[in-house]
Structure 1
Amino acid sequence: MATLPTAADVADAARMIASVARRTPLVSSPELDALTGARVFLKAESLQRTGSFKFRGAYNRLARIPEDRKAIGVVAMSSGNHAQGVATAAQLLGIRATILMPKDSPQLKRDRTAAAGAEVVLFDREKDDRVAMANALAAERGAIVVPPYDDFYIMAGQGTAGREIVDDLTAQGLSPDTVLVCCSGGGLLAGVALAVHERAPKAKVYSVEPEGFDDHARSFEAGERLGNTKLSGSLCDGLLAQMPGELTFAINKPHVAGGLVVSEDEVKRAVAFAFRELKLVVEPSGAVPLAALLAGRIDVKGQVVAAVISGGNVDPAVFAKMVG
């Protein structure tokens, strides 16, 4: 088993990214508190550089590449947010980036990845093996593969969002009782769980996933990694990993209290609520924790709750339909 990051590595990542990443706010709302009976704080990573939390891990990973190896470049695979995070981090660090993206990823995410200077290579989510493609391309070019979640520095970097949550709640004299995190491969969940449990060990951390892609919820119940039968077909395009990561699950299994699952209609309502009541543009994948709260998937009455709104990179036409 590879070495796993600890809370100390999250703290180290926070120092590494401090000069480039945004410290995103905790957003609260009287309406949301009234609906849930809790004090709810949303970590607005939709306001992060590149529009999602992914920049944190990407920069932390790429910044660790030795100077003498930066010229060989990196290869990453992503439906969009990891792609933009890697592309922007690479641009800042002077590293060539090639990103494999599924053909059905939102055009906005593909365009912004290319605009950050990365070469975009498209693949078919249903037919192609993206890992094999990335490894072959990296081998051909002598480049470094930057995974979307199963990586020591990626997980540590994503955990800085959780570290900021606890810091900002502590400054208000509060400590989280429940933390909700959207989940694809589990890198954000792992990093946040490490950071939260360092200083709030009694907090309960939950994964949140869309119906049909609830591999974490089922894996936590079974005590082992289980996969999804489908590879595509969800509005939450950023949450379609086939199964939990090997390294992420090793961290999440002892740290996570369980998994919550939401429907697409609940996700749509959450996106609309965030826009109307909070004035936040949230992509469907980033809205699943809010959807779980609004749908009452978990009883949080009387608690202090933190939920990570992971990104805001939503296709304008799709967004207009949900909020119109």
Structure 2
Amino acid sequence: MELISIDDVRAAADDIAGTVVRTPLLPAPWDGELWLKPESLQPVGSFKLRGATHAVARLDPAARSRGVVTHSSGNHGQALAYAARAAGVACTVVVPQGAPPVKVDRIRALGAEVRLVPPARRLAEAERIAADTGAALVPPFDDPRIIAGQGTIGLEIVEDLPDVDVLLVPVGGGGLSSGIATAVKALRPSAAVIGVEPLLAADARESLAAGEVVVWDVERTYRTSADGLRTHLSALTLAHLRDRLDGIVTVTEEEILAAMGRLVREARLVVEPSAAVAVAARLFHRDELPPGRTVAVVTGGNVDPALLASVLD
């Protein structure tokens, strides 16, 4: 299976310039060796805008005329809707029932058509729409264009902190961690890229141990509050992670919520649970991580207001 290269990531960086915010590295107030990469500051509130913008930029004119379709629990759907609107392309997003209403509402506000389906049906429905309409399927992570786009985060981190030692990256479908690991291993081979996922959705850790994609059913993964990390790896992302990821750690629900609170109160960042897992790993599992200058990728800020309020009580 062909993996993406640093050249693919650099091409993506050219494609997304001007649409995607180049987020800063923020020093964590409570930790002198921790920096935060706040992708929550993107126009759609998450890193997903990078891959979506790159994917839309790579469509040929005929594909653009037929529109795009995807399946998403929220953030990728918002990102593709934003990128499609900016390019004048029609967009349909298949959303699993149970996704945070705040994310669904924002997808609609960006002009996309939303189709709500049972979680297990999301991919099949997106594929059906693509087959029926000719729309281009732009998956959330299982696509070289998406992986390359997300990898631009790694480019920026190494540019801003050339002597970075450790990168902590949330893992859901694996597109983000695959892209970042690709960029970092090419530019800073000595740095360790560590994936982080919820203990209640630890299928990536299990997949890496087994050497094949292990799928947890939705009844298991939906136990975690980190809704953006409930998706399993694909064969493509597993191949990248087996080749380029240095390890994976898991965090509990209590640790995730505590990290959310720390980020809101002390870093002044509004974050969703999925975005807090990397910081949770640094806060509660430092003994499992390599030492040194560490960057935690804070992936998104599209949090349900009631959940945010409960964390701050």
Distance 2:77 2:28 in 1: 31
Distance 1:84 1:203 in 2: 32
2:173 aligns with one of 185, 198, 214? 185
**SS state of the match for residue 34, structure 2?**
strand
Which residue number corresponds to residue 236 of structure 1?
226
Summarize the alignment of residues 5-44 of structure 1 with structure 2, pairs less than 5 Å apart: 5-33=4-32, 39-44=33-38
Which residue number corresponds to residue 114 of structure 1?
108
Checking the alignment, whether the CA contact within 8 Å between 2:107 and 2:114 is kept in structure 1 is yes
Query: Where does the alignment leave 5 or more consecutive residues of structure 1 unmatched?
Result: 34-38
Post-superposition Cα deviations, 1:30-65, rounded to whole Å, max 9, x if no partner, equal 4123xxxxx111111011120000000000001111
Which residue number corresponds to residue 311 of structure 1?
300
Query: Where does the alignment leave 5 or more consecutive residues of structure 2 unmatched?
Result: none
Matched positions, count = 311
Checking the alignment, whether the CA contact within 8 Å between 1:178 and 1:306 is kept in structure 2 is yes
Which residue number corresponds to residue 89 of structure 1?
83
Identity of aligned residues (%): 43
Q: Which amino acid in 2 is paired with 1:221? A: A
**2:240 corresponds to 1:246:** no
**SS state of the match for residue 281, structure 2?**
helix
> Over the residues paired in the alignment, what is the CA RMSD in angstroms?
1.3
**SS state of the match for residue 89, structure 2?**
coil
Distance 1:294 1:198 in 2: 28
TM-score, length of structure 2 as denominator length: 0.96
Distance 1:102 1:14 in 2: 30
Checking the alignment, whether the CA contact within 8 Å between 1:221 and 1:258 is kept in structure 2 is no
Distance 1:291 1:301 in 2: 15
**SS state of the match for residue 5, structure 1?**
coil
Distance 2:125 2:286 in 1: 38
Which residue number corresponds to residue 160 of structure 1?
152
Q: Which amino acid in 1 is paired with 2:157? A: I
Alignment CA distance shift 1:193-1:312 (3 Å):
same
Which residue number corresponds to residue 282 of structure 2?
293
Bigger shift: residues 281-290 or 228-237: 228-237
Distance 1:71 1:285 in 2: 34
Post-superposition Cα deviations, 1:151-199, rounded to whole Å, max 9, x if no partner, equal 01000000001110000012xxxx1211110011100000000111111
**SS state of the match for residue 197, structure 2?**
strand
Alignment CA distance shift 1:218-1:22 (3 Å):
same
Cα deviation, residue 4, structure 1: 2.7
